[in-house]
């Protein structure tokens, strides 16, 4: 009886793992990639990209 229950649990665990790796994870990654693309297009200098000017190129900037 214990062997049957253990086998059923093992089979369900394997099915859940396959579902996560081949169905849920790719969907999650595509959602995250889409969100990142939208953020990059709306706010291009938010994620560590250097702004194309420095404080010396802005005439009204006063360095303290």
Q: What is the pLDDT of residue 59?
A: 63
| 14-63 confidence digits (pLDDT tens) | 999 999 889 999 999 999 999 989 988 888 766 665 665 665 666 665 66
Q: What is the pLDDT of residue 44?
A: 72
The Cα 49–Cα 36 span in angstroms is 14
Residue 12 has pLDDT above 70, yes or no: yes
Residue 13 has pLDDT above 90, yes or no: yes
The values of phi and psi at residue 49, to 5°, are -80, 135
The Cα 33–Cα 29 span in angstroms is 6
| 14-27 confidence digits (pLDDT tens) | 999 999 889 999 99
């Amino acid at each position: 009886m214990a062997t049957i229950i253990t086998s059923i649990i093992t089979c369900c665990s394997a099915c859940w793992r396959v579902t996560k790796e081949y169905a849920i994870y790719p969907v999650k990654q595509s959602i995250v990639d889409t969100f990142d693309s939208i953020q990059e297009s709306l706010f291009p200098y938010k994620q560590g990209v250097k702004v194309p000017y420095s404080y010396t190129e802005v005439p009204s900037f006063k360095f303290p």
